[in-house]
Structure 1
């Protein structure tokens, strides 16, 4: 059994498909099928069962897969440490960025980092904060920007941006002239939310329920500017961080501070407490900490 066998098994389970796993690994489908078959012959055990379009692990497959993740992470850490020793100042950092954070706060930081460390490649993955947090925990990403709070036993972190949510409304809305709003006043409104990959999705729903109502959600999106345009078309109301509201056209939408409750929006940079951090990743953490705390 070789490391690549574990890589193939992990990718097949992740994609639930030999074909998609082969595409992700940049090999052909016959190649990955042949490698798994050779391993099954070597072990004299079946690892996968095809049940229609579903691919299921046998007991032997489950046993191997349960060890594959930790072994592959250790192997990645070993490769990263060797690369650090061999190619100082070079490497790759996998960074997760939610759309609001990426577009609003990071283009200049990324440019400055690349100017200082031209040998380090940044792989940027744009996703909701909840998904970014999961990917950092699983070792798919090295670092990520997420919403506070997080599990402090699992993650190290430092603060980036502190803000609060405001309500955005069409200028003709009956509440558009108010100086502030409570969540209870919005009980009958049509809500436009980020989709469930975003931490704000569940946070807003939770706060609405705490205020005595289930929000009537009419649209969901992954893009803050699209949410703003939908509000501008009077399709519903939304909640966005104050700094994001500043980027919206005040002729199209009205943004009003939300009180009772105040919903904080605190961005933090996270990485796993346990495991090896490459030199490139440590340089990214140090650089962004310096930029945001200066």
Structure 2
């Protein structure tokens, strides 16, 4: 079994097509088929079968896939680490964060890290916590700022809480709203709601249900930017992190009490000693900035 065989196998499993996998790898389809056959022969079993809808994994292929993905991730990390020098003159950090954290927390950290390590490439993935957790598990990103507790536990994923943020009610600037209100008073307000999978959606629904009512939705399905714009346009109100309100002159902030709403933010990554040097250096700057 060779790394090349595993890379070809994972490509076919991802694309569900020998033709598309060959194109993505830059090899001919006969070459790809030959390498897959060599892998199957070395293991003594079929891994892939052709079906009407495309290529499907056999049960043996399904068992091999997560191991193959992990091996390729570790091989890539090893290669990256070898090419990095101790003084961090080169390298890349693949960082994930939710939209509110990108807008409210991450930019100053990126600026500080760039000033200290100008030769390190920075790559930001903006998504919800569930999607970022999946990207961490498959090795597409090195570390991420996530909302905890996580909806599902991922083996070997380490988390450390670095920040607790207050949630507030965002309303149109012209709305006649108090500076403070109880969560129960949300019952009378039309709410702009985030899409499925957003932890802010879950937090809002849980708070409303705990107060004994079903929230009344005016618009739903948005990302952070669109939700804030909908509120600015007068379509309703939204429960959002306080950190996104600072530069929004078209919004009015109301503190939520009884109970106050907050959420914990953690930096998450695979075991620290497996991270590339650049990612470890970025984590140190990130933790210092947020905990300080």
How does the TM-score come out when normalised to structure 2? 0.82
**Secondary structure at 2:67 match in 1:** helix
Distance 1:70 1:82 in 2: 18
Aligned to 2:158: 155
1:41 to 37, 44, 47: 37
Change (3 A) 1:243 1:67: closer
Change in Cα spacing, 1:6 to 1:133, as seen in structure 2 (3 Å) is same
* 1:164 matched residue in structure 2: 166
Please give the alpha-carbon distance, in whole angstroms, between the structure 2 residues aligned to 1:88 and 1:100: 29
Match in the other structure for 1:268? 266
The count of aligned residue pairs is 284
Do the aligned partners of 1:89 and 1:280 also contact (CA within 8 Å) in 2?
no
* Corresponding residue of 2:118: 118
Which residue is 2:223 aligned to? 222
**1:200 match:** 200
Secondary structure at the counterpart of residue 78 of structure 1: helix
**Equivalent position of 1:76 in the other structure:** 76
Compute the RMSD of aligned alpha carbons.
3.0
In structure 1, the partner of 2:284 is: 286
* Shift in alpha-carbon separation, 1:242–1:22, aligned structure 2, 3 A: farther
For residues 104 and 149 of structure 2, the distance between their equivalents in structure 1, rounded to whole angstroms, comes to: 21
Q: 1:59 to 1:149 in 2, by over 3 A?
A: closer
Aligned residues of 2:168 and 2:242 also touching (Cα < 8 A): yes
Any stretches of 5+ residues in structure 2 without a counterpart?
none
C-alpha displacement of 1:188: 4.7
**Aligned match of 2:237:** 237
Give me the whole-angstrom Cα distance separating, in 2, the residues matched to 1:274 and 1:291.
18
The separation in 1 between residues aligned to 2:205 and 2:103, in whole angstroms, is 25
Deviations, residues 215-253 of structure 1 (Å, cap 9, x unaligned): 3442221233x322211222222111122123222xx43
Cα offsets for 1:84-140 (capped at 9, x unmatched): 468854221111022221122222322221222122211211112332233223332
| CA displacement at 1:256 relative to structure 2 | 0.9
CA distance in 2, matches of 1:184, 1:104: 27
Cα distance in 2 for partners of 1:114, 1:189 equals 43
The equivalent of 1:109 in structure 2 is: 109
CA distance in 1, matches of 2:18, 2:170: 46
Q: Flag as ranges the 4+ runs of structure 1 deviating above 6 A.
A: none
Q: CA distance change for structure 1 residues 172 and 81 in 2, over 3 Å: closer, same or farther? A: closer
Distance 2:177 2:224 in 1: 26
2:25 alignment partner, SS class: coil
In 2 relative to 1, CA 134–208 (structure 1 residues): closer, same or farther, beyond 3 Å? farther
Q: Where in structure 2 are the equivalents of 1:165-180 lying within 5 Å?
A: 165-170=167-172, 176-180=176-180
- Is the contact between residue 5 and residue 35 of structure 1 (CA under 8 Å) also seen in structure 2? no
Unpaired runs of 5+ in structure 1?
A: none
CA distance in structure 2 between the partners assigned to 1:253 and 1:16 by the alignment: 47
State TM-score, norm by structure 1.
Answer: 0.81
Q: Judging changes above 3 Å, is the alpha-carbon distance between structure 1 residues 41 and 50 closer, same or farther for their aligned structure 2 residues?
A: closer
Give the SS at the match of 2:200. Answer: helix
